[in-house]
Amino acid sequence: MGESRFENGTVAAITVTYNRAHTLEKCLHALLAQSRPVDKILVVDNQSNEEEIRKVKKLAAQSEKIHLVILKENLGGAGGFEAGMREALGMWNPDWYWLMDDDAYPREDCLEKLLAHGKELPEAGGLCPVIYGIDLKKYQMFHHKKLTRLILKTVPVARQYEDLDDVTREDANAFVGPLFSGKTIREMGIADGSLFIYGDDTEYTHRVSVRYPLYLIKEAVIDHQDAPVLNENMKPEGWWKEYYGTRNHYFMIREFQANRAVRLAGYVCLTLRLSAIMVKSLIKGYDLLRVKLIAQAMKDGMRDRRGKTLDPQKYYGYLKKRGLMQR
């Protein structure tokens, strides 16, 4: 783990995109403008529509550093990162893997700052930049996580950016700029595509942090679009996301709770909490569909039923047929 690993080691950035060429363009621009140049950029397109794929191909042609992989079907964010990490490992076996969503834009010195701190933290499995939300103009501290004992929820490592130390150890992080060493990838494996979407980043970064320290680097910053207001997820269009978040939560408890009694306690507490949400949903007058989806997610999670078990496009078609689409 000499100095050359940090200064001269190969860095491969991986980003997954789906029908968002407008944000991908900004992401690629930021990657190509790094003060410490990125050596390779792997773009994974999750089977966007034809018009978007044409735009993505044009963007990929702007630099020889960019390699484009177009998946045969939409495998979700989890499947996209799994495919990207596998492709990068097979083609380049880089010293560093830099993962980020297509709406993340690392500041010019972000990679330089991460690698600089990496020299002082040779035991690190991952180095993460602080995430700044450019729409709401505030740091997205909720992406930098500590996990509770029963893995029932995550809590931020700090309430505000100002409360952070220069280097802060954390349990998990979003796929918005974490930099993993090649050694870590070879030992811990790649992202779990069977989660499809929601929780895959928490699962992988926590998988790493259980074995090697995962550090948040205060002076390295990556800009990120803010997600829609959380209340949007309470509309029918967001219930499929709630399904995957719920289903994958059971997987997390199963994977990281080796003690059977603690794992059972986690299942029971999560199931009770979800049951209360179902009752509240009925009281508040939500469509019965939401309750059915939560119940199915609970069942699929406990039975370890993985993959794309709920197709978003078919789900939207069902909503439209029932007149439940609100947009």
pLDDT of residue 327: 58
pTM value surpassing 0.85? yes
Length of the chain: 327
CATH, range 3-224: 3.90.550.10
98 vs 293: CA distance, rounded Å: 34
The full set of domain ranges for the chain reads: 3-224, 230-322
How far apart, in whole angstroms, are the C-alpha atoms of residue 169 and residue 157? Answer: 8
Q: How big is the chain by its Cα radius of gyration, in Å?
A: 20
pLDDT of residue 6: 57
CB atoms within 10 A of CB 85: 23
- Which residue, chain included where needed, has tokens 């995957």? 244
Sign of the Cα torsion 47, 48, 49, 50 reads negative
The encoded tokens of residue 173 equal: 């992080």
Q: Which parts of 240-307 are beta strand (E)?
A: none
Q: What is the DSSP string of 7-52?
A: HTS-EEEEEEESS-HHHHHHHHHHHHT-SS--SEEEEEE----HHH
What pLDDT is attached to residue 2?
Answer: 44
For the four alpha carbons of 53, 59, 63 and 66, in that order, the dihedral sign comes to negative
**How many other CB atoms are found less than 10 A from the CB of residue 62?**
12
- pLDDT tens track of the chain, all 327 residues? 444 455 668 999 999 999 999 999 999 999 999 999 999 999 999 999 999 999 999 999 999 999 999 999 999 999 999 999 999 999 999 999 999 999 999 999 999 999 999 899 999 999 999 999 999 999 999 999 999 888 888 999 999 999 999 999 999 999 999 999 999 999 999 999 999 999 999 999 999 999 999 999 999 999 999 986 544 457 899 999 999 999 999 999 999 998 999 999 999 999 999 999 999 999 988 889 999 999 999 999 999 999 999 999 999 999 999 998 865
C-alpha to C-alpha distance for 49 and 194, rounded to whole angstroms: 23
Token couple for 209: 């942090």
List the end-to-end C-alpha distance of the chain, in Å, as a whole number. Answer: 52
How far is the C-alpha of 141 from the C-alpha of 265, rounded, in Å?
Answer: 28
